[in-house]
Amino acid sequence: MAEKTQLDDIELRWALRDVLAHRHKWIRTSEAALNRLRELGWVKESNGELVLTDAGHEALR
C-alpha cells in the first residue's frame, strides 16, 4: 500500500508542475490528479485558467 501512496504523490507532483508550466493544456494530465490538487488547495481557477496557490508553490519546495 505504501508504494501506491508514493506513486500517487509522484503523480500529483508532476501534475502540479504541469499546471505551473501550463502544460496541462496539451499534455494529458489526469483529471483525478487535477481534482485532488483542487481538494488540497494547491490549484485554483483564475480567469478560466488553472493556477497554483501559495500552498501549491510551497508543496513544490
Q: What is the pLDDT of residues 36-56, one digit of tens each?
A: 999 999 999 999 999 999 999
Rounded to whole angstroms, what are the CA distances from 16 to 1, 25, 46?
23, 13, 15
Alpha-carbon span 35 to 43, nearest angstrom? 9
- 3-class state of residue 47 by DSSP: coil
Which residue range forms the structural domain that includes residue 8? 2-59
Report whether 50 contacts 20 (CB < 8 A). Answer: no
0.95 exceeded by pTM: no
Question: What's the total number of domains in the chain?
Answer: 1
pLDDT mean across residues, the chain: 88
Nearest of 33, 30, 54 to residue 42 by alpha carbon:
54
